[in-house]
A and B are shown apart, each in its own frame.
Chain A
Amino acid sequence: MRRRLLAIIRKEFIHILRDFRSLMIILLMPILMIVLYGYGITLDMRNIPFAVIDDSNTPESRALVRAFSDNGFFLLVPERITREDVQRVFSRRSAGMVLVIPADFAPSLSTAAVTRVQVLVDASDSNVGTFIGTYSTQVLRLFNQRRGAAPPALITLEPRILYNPDMKSAYFFVPGLIALLLILISALLTSITITREKESGTMEQILVSPIHPVEIIIGKVLPYVTIGFAIGALILVFAQLIFDVPMRGSLPLLSLMSTLYIFVSLSFGLLISTVSKTQMDAMFRTVMATILPTFMLSGFLFPIASMPLPLQAVSQALPATYFLVIIRGIMLKGTGLAELWPQAAILAGIGVFILAVSIRRFRMRLD
């Protein structure tokens, strides 16, 4: 039993190490993605260009404009525009927001109870629109405070943001990326290595020997657990070095949970290999079945609670959904197994189920 298993494991490692180019792609792709996502794709907004229509043109109105332009959120477009230009400004995308200060702004400030200014927002990207609205409100509140104007309400909100006080996108993306890359690479490698042997006929040659199908599967999957683990570690190290993503919980616990997640992903790859005839076929199926659902439905980008019910059901079936809760919990909140065991248990359950189905299908021999 052990000799046979070792023979398979050894050969698989030879395959992996000898195909140096593929190995480098597998190891470098995650780093590239971390850098791209961490730097390029960010949900915070800075330097939103804005234009001003200042009908008041007084020291007070200029102070208001400075309040907008001085905080890093907004960047003043050095261009005088009139009301007729607003449409054109938005169409050319030279500004995302236009601040309109009425002619009676200065006298109204000192006499009237309420002074109105208008903020026109380009909400063609609704997310950006929302951000602009929120930021504008904050800027106005600061402006009011500095003028000593009494706040209109008696209750003031003092939000304190925990776990990610600076709202850094990297904190949000890195755990998600680990979840995405681990399932993609683990499933892809397994499904490809098995279909490759089907294509070349070597699988038939192994199956005609007295080796047990379970030995073949374990022998083929074990080397890729190592690779998956290495990738996970690599991402963590880079995330720490480049983006200072914290590691508040226990690293051994995260390692254990990652191994569990890799195991689920490999089983999934195995399942795909039992329905795929060629490597291309396996690759296509794996990519379709991992990237899109994990990206859109696991809670990586969009909160699950706000999805329509049928999609929520899909998300409940995704391994990444549970792993994301676990990895974000451990990394950002320092949560332990006491809080995370339900997710871990479900993940293990999914893994055992997929593995059982694929071993069953695998055993039905190669028809």
Chain B
Amino acid sequence: MTPEFAVSARELRRNFGAFTAVDGISFDVRHGEIFGFLGANGAGKTTAIRMLCGLLPPTSGSATVAGYDIGRQVHQVKGAIGYMSQRFSLYDDISVGENIEFYGGVYGLSRAAIAAKSKSLLADLGLSDQRHLLTKSLPLGWKQRLALGTALLHEPSIIFLDEPTGGVDPISRRRFWRIIYELAEKGTTVFVTTHYMDEAEYCNRISIMHQGAIVALGSPTALKQEYGLGTVQDVFVHLITGTTDR
């Protein structure tokens, strides 16, 4: 039975000592949706995503991911999701091919499956001839797409991307988003945090976080209409500072 929503959070909260990083957020993400998580640095995006991925237990509240409870079924959650963070998850000092083999192995894929996946991934990225190169010698944009590829080796139904395009040139960012669109078309749910406002426009729906709470949620078009502003950037600035940036 497929659950109704890919991700569903209810009053999810996380405190670090006296500091509340995530202040009881509730939202639903539909299957095959590109869901954007916006917010300034320190708004609580990363903390929220880490709770959903089972890296951090919530202080209170609950959430289901792919139908599994993030408190009681962490193991199943982890098997169902892919995760790629702003910090590259690849090992710099081993080769491109070895990175793919390693992550395939960590997800319990068979040798044959890893070999097949590795071949098609490298072909997709145009890296077939570079598989023996050390990963650190790749340009940043390529590394990012390779990292995304390794996070998708086990064909997760949901992929969490935590600021995946930080520090990358516009061309590489565009290529990266093309892959995200392809994924969504194939039915993979994409949960992405970003602070590039142009990227927010590409999402089906966005939620804007401020000081640990969700202050707005809806499609970019709906939000722009609601506040009578022209771009998501204006909506964002309006919500965060209470003024429009004009």
Q: Is the CB of A204 within 8 A of B56?
A: no
Instruction: Give the CA-CA distance A206 to B76 in the complex, in Å.
Output: 15
Residues of A close to B56: CB separation below 8 A: 365-367
Residues of A close to B27: CB separation below 8 A: none
Instruction: Give the CA-CA distance A367 to B87 in the complex, in Å.
Output: 16
Interface size class of B (residues with CB under 8 A): 20 to 34
Q: Is the CB of B106 within 8 A of A4?
A: yes
**B84-108 Cβ-contact flags toward A at 8 Å (1 or 0):** 1101111111100010011111111
Residues of A close to B16: CB separation below 8 A: 367
Q: Is the CB of B102 within 8 A of A7?
A: yes
**A4-42 Cβ-contact flags toward B at 8 Å (1 or 0):** 101110110011001100000000000000000000000
**A182-203 Cβ-contact flags toward B at 8 Å (1 or 0):** 0000000000000000001110
Q: Is the CB of B106 within 8 A of A18?
A: no
Q: Is the CB of A14 within 8 A of B98?
A: yes
A201-B88, A210-B78 as given contacts; A19 in contact with B93, CB under 8 Å: yes
B55 near A: Cβ within 8 Å? yes
Q: Which of A15, A201, A206, A208 has the most CB of B within 10 A?
A: A208
B132 near A: Cβ within 8 Å? no
B187 near A: Cβ within 8 Å? no
Q: Which of A3, A18, A207, A367 has the most CB of B within 10 A?
A: A3
Chain A min CB distance to B154 (Å): 8
Q: Is the CB of A3 within 8 A of B109?
A: yes
Q: How many residues of A are counted as interface, with CB atoms below 8 angstroms from the partner's CB atoms?
A: 25
A209 near B: Cβ within 8 Å? yes
Determine the residue in chain A with the shortest Cβ distance to B99: A11
Residues of A close to B103: CB separation below 8 A: 205, 209
Residues of A close to B57: CB separation below 8 A: 365
Residues of A close to B106: CB separation below 8 A: 4, 7-8, 206, 209, 211
Q: Is the CB of A210 within 8 A of B85?
A: no
Determine the residue in chain A with the shortest Cβ distance to B57: A365
Determine the residue in chain B with the shortest Cβ distance to A205: B89
**Interchain CB contact (< 8 A) of B81 among A205, A208, A367:** A208
From residue 156 to 193 of chain A, which have CB atoms closer than 8 A to chain B? none
Instruction: Give the CA-CA distance A117 to B53 in the complex, in Å.
Output: 85
Chain A min CB distance to B191 (Å): 13
Q: B interface vs A, CB < 8 Å? A: 16, 53-57, 75-76, 78-79, 81, 83-85, 87-94, 98, 101-110, 151
19 A-B pairs in the complex with CB atoms less than 8 angstroms apart = A7-B102, A8-B106, A10-B102, A15-B93, A15-B94, A18-B94, A201-B88, A204-B55, A204-B89, A205-B103, A205-B151, A206-B106, A208-B53, A209-B107, A210-B75, A210-B78, A210-B79, A210-B108, A365-B57
Q: Sort A-B residue pairs by CB-CB distance and give the 5 closest, nearest first.
A: A7-B105, A205-B89, A201-B87, A210-B79, A208-B83
